[in-house]
């Protein structure tokens, strides 16, 4: 009787929500026809969802699509202009986040990127902005890490993919926790998102996919949140902590709030920010780095051209520095094309509306989930002819510099509005020095697997919110003995 009553209550809620949605005189944006009660829940893609979103936009000849699920509308933005019009120009009502129940169940709700728009989110964002230094202040660390990667690949090139994500102590935690988050935020994938009461059903009950998923990933997420900050804090207390964003935060909190109730409050904010930033930068940098290697193996002519440019400007007696990378337009263009060709977050992190809105004559209800199809925007043939082809030259003008008339893909790849990635410039500079360093000393080819068979490379992505190439080249060989010596001496 209790289960039947619960089911009837849920149906009644869905009907009432559906009626409320239709109360506007304006139509919702076009989209696949919803079924009674459940809407489009069974139409929602869980594998390479960005492709299905793009297909819907073409089917309905619209750059704004609406799919309806119980309790919510999901509005998909298929063009750069639509994303700018709404997420940038109307950021005051398009900066919220939908509550992701599975994210909470996994303990990922410490991540300020998923916080609702409001005072708590602003406190976290302010903490990060206050202590995130300008990119040039990280140049030494970026160069050091790039050269450590070169040495590791020189020793064991077959482990290239492993070396890209190697972080000595926390790599496994980051990888597993990030994998969980990527699965947790797929729009429409879990029934518990529509009926949060289902989160209390134990994992042994058949069909409780979300609970099983949360139980699997939550321990790794909590370790990711706590361990990096607590290690730095312990080292700081012993006077042994190197300069970092975390030590800056700890010192600031001690100086301003020591002995007050605010000290523990701001320490928790700092822990959240450090954990979230650490995870985001590690996963996204790894993804972009893998995509670059794949592109170089699939497009050897681009590789050779970049190597010639590096040889001409840097010579053969030293390794590149961050300043070199910034002064070689082709390196910047390769970084831009890497982010465009295989975007790290193909559909971003969904925004949410905090008020009703009207766009192009369509009603966008308050509480809608807004999904920018970043992959589709970066593969728009009007902006980027032959979008499936890796062509860095598309960004180089007649002067030999970056062409401002070609849309910069970093305006799209790092998100929109007030929810855009605050570490954008740091990420770009890190990718550039990595690209310059690898190309200067290695020739990049597919390589062979553990069985001695050639690695089959394909420009396909795997994943959900965060995407990676299916395969990564492992045939990296020094360009010369002089190049090998540079790596060993670095």
Q: What is the pLDDT of residue 210?
A: 87
| Cα–Cα nearest to 294, from 420, 472, 433 | 472
Q: What is the pLDDT of residue 10?
A: 45
CA dist list (Å): 274 to 17, 111, 268, 282, 330: 39, 9, 10, 12, 33
Round to whole Å and give the CA distance between 97 and 203. Answer: 27
Do 29 and 66 contact (CB within 8 A), yes or no? yes
Q: What is the pLDDT of residue 435?
A: 97
Do 43 and 375 contact (CB within 8 A), yes or no? no
Round to whole Å and give the CA distance between 39 and 70. Answer: 6
Q: Are strands 357-359 and 362-364 parallel, antiparallel or unpaired?
A: antiparallel
Look at 174-178, 350-354, 378-382, 458-462 and tell me which has the smallest mean pLDDT. 174-178
Do 435 and 331 contact (CB within 8 A), yes or no? yes
H or E element, residue 77: strand 72-77
Do 337 and 295 contact (CB within 8 A), yes or no? yes
Is pLDDT at 18 greater than 60 in this prediction?
no
Beta strands in 369-457 (DSSP E): 369-372, 442-445
Q: What is the pLDDT of residue 441?
A: 98
| pLDDT tens digits along 94-132 | 999 988 899 999 999 898 888 899 999 999 999 999 998
Higher pLDDT, 193 or 358: 358
What end-to-end distance do the CA atoms of the chain give, in Å?
72
| Cα–Cα nearest to 435, from 166, 164, 204 | 164
Is pLDDT at 196 greater than 60 in this prediction?
yes
297, exposed or middle or buried, with CB in 10 Å at 0-12, 13-18, 19+? buried
Is pLDDT at 21 greater than 70 in this prediction?
no
Is pLDDT at 168 greater than 80 in this prediction?
no
Annotated binding-site residue? 57: no
Round to whole Å and give the CA distance between 449 and 325. Answer: 32
CA dist list (Å): 433 to 45, 59, 71, 146, 428: 36, 42, 46, 7, 9
Q: What is the pLDDT of residue 477?
A: 97
Q: What is the pLDDT of residue 12?
A: 43
| pLDDT tens digits along 60-88 | 999 999 999 888 899 999 999 999 999 99
Using only the alpha carbons of the chain, give its radius of gyration: 24
Query: What residue spans of 156-299 are helical by DSSP H?
Result: 160-165, 171-184, 209-237, 245-257, 261-298
Number of other residues whose CB lies within 10 A of the CB of residue 346: 26
Average pLDDT over residues 244-257: 94
Is pLDDT at 425 greater than 60 in this prediction?
yes
Q: What is the pLDDT of residue 207?
A: 61
Round to whole Å and give the CA distance between 32 and 234. Answer: 54
Instruction: Look at the alpha carbons of 322, 394, 303, 462 in this order and tell me if their dihedral is positive or negative.
Output: positive
6 confidence band (pLDDT: 50, 70, 90):
very low
Average pLDDT over residues 218-240: 92
**Interior/surface letters 44-82, b for 16+ CB within 10 angstroms, e for the rest:** bbeebbbbbbbebbeebebbbbbbbbbbbbbbbbbbbeb
Q: What is the pLDDT of residue 301?
A: 98
Is pLDDT at 188 greater than 80 in this prediction?
no
pLDDT > 70 in the chain, percent: 93
Q: What angle do CA 331, 334, 336 make, to 5 degrees?
A: 110
Average pLDDT over residues 221-248: 91
Question: 348: number of CA atoms within 13 Å, CB side?
Answer: 31
Q: What angle do CA 43, 45, 50 make, to 5 degrees?
A: 125
Higher pLDDT, 200 or 488: 488
Q: Are strands 72-77 and 369-372 parallel, antiparallel or unpaired?
A: parallel
Round to whole Å and give the CA distance between 391 and 179. Answer: 30
Average pLDDT over residues 365-388: 97
Tell me what the pLDDT averaged over the chain comes to: 89
Is pLDDT at 11 greater than 50 in this prediction?
no
Q: What is the pLDDT of residue 169?
A: 58
Average pLDDT over residues 465-483: 93
Do 372 and 85 contact (CB within 8 A), yes or no? no
Round to whole Å and give the CA distance between 153 and 142. Answer: 17
Round to whole Å and give the CA distance between 438 and 303. Answer: 10
Is pLDDT at 23 greater than 60 in this prediction?
no
User: What single DSSP character describes residue 444?
Assistant: E
Domain spans of the chain, in order of start: 93-345+379-489
Look at 273-287, 290-304, 330-344, 392-406 and tell me which has the smallest mean pLDDT. 273-287
Q: What is the pLDDT of residue 472?
A: 95
Is pLDDT at 217 greater than 70 in this prediction?
yes
Round to whole Å and give the CA distance between 484 and 229. Answer: 37
H or E element, residue 352: strand 351-352
Tokens of 201: 């059903």
Is pLDDT at 3 greater than 70 in this prediction?
no
Q: What angle do CA 218, 221, 226 make, to 5 degrees?
A: 125
7 confidence band (pLDDT: 50, 70, 90):
very low
Question: What is 119-181 written as a DSSP string?
Answer: HHHHHHHHHHHHH---GGGGHHHHHHHHHHHHHHHHH-GGGHHHHHH--TTSHHHHHHHHHHH
What fold characterizes domain 93-345+379-489? Cytochrome p450 (1.10.630)
Look at 11-20, 267-276, 310-319 and tell me which has the smallest mean pLDDT. 11-20
Instruction: Specify the residue for token string 């890490």.
Output: 145
């Amino acid at each position: 009787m209790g289960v039947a009553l619960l089911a009837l209550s849920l149906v009644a809620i869905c009907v009432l929500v559906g009626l409320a949605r239709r109360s506007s005189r304006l139509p919702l944006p076009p989209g696949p026809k919803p079924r009674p009660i459940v809407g489009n829940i069974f139409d929602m893609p869980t594998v390479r969802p960005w492709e299905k979103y793009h297909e819907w936009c073409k089917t309905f000849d619209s750059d704004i699509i609406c799919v309806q699920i119980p309790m919510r509308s999901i509005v998909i933005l298929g063009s750069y202009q639509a994303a700018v019009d709404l997420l940038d120009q109307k950021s005051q009502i398009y900066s919220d986040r939908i509550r992701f129940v599975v994210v909470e169940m996994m303990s990922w709700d410490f991540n300020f990127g998923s916080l609702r728009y409001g005072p708590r989110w602003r406190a976290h964002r302010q903490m990060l902005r206050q202590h995130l230094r300008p990119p040039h202040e990280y140049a030494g660390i970026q160069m050091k890490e790039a050269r450590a990667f070169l040495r590791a690949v020189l020793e064991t090139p077959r482990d290239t993919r492993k070396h890209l994500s190697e972080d000595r102590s926390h790599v496994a935690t980051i990888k597993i926790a990030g994998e969980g988050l990527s699965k947790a935020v797929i729009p429409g994938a879990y029934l518990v998102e529509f009926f949060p009461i289902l989160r209390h059903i134990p994992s042994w009950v058949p069909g409780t996919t979300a609970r099983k998923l949360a139980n699997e990933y939550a321990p790794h997420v909590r370790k990711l949140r706590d361990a990096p900050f607590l290690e730095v804090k312990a080292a700081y207390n012993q006077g042994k902590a190197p300069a970092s964003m975390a030590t800056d935060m700890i010192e600031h909190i001690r100086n301003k709030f020591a002995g007050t109730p605010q000290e523990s409050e701001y320490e928790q904010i700092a822990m959240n920010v450090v954990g979230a930033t650490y995870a985001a930068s590690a996963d996204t940098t790894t993804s972009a780095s893998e995509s670059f290697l794949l592109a170089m193996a699939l497009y050897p002519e681009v590789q050779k051209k970049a190597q010639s440019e590096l040889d001409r400007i840097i010579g053969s007696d030293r390794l590149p520095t961050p300043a070199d990378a910034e002064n070689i337009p082709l390196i910047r263009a390769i970084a831009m094309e890497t982010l465009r060709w295989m975007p790290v977050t193909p559909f971003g992190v969904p925004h949410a509306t905090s008020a009703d809105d009207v766009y192009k004559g369509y009603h966008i209800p308050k509480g809608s989930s807004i999904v920018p199809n970043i992959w589709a925007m970066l593969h728009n043939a009007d902006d980027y002819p032959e979008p499936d082809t890796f062509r860095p030259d598309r960004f180089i003008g007649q002067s030999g510099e970056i062409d401002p008339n070609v849309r910069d893909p970093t305006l799209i790849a790092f998100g929109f509005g007030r929810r855009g990635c605050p570490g954008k410039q740091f990420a770009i500079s890190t990718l550039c020095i990595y690209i310059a360093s690898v190309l200067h000393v290695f020739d990049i080819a597919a390589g062979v697997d553990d069985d001695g068979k050639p690695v089959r490379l394909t420009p396909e992505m795997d994943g959900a919110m965060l995407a990676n190439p299916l395969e990564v080249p492992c045939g990296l060989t020094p360009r010369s003995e002089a190049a090998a010596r540079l790596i060993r001496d670095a």
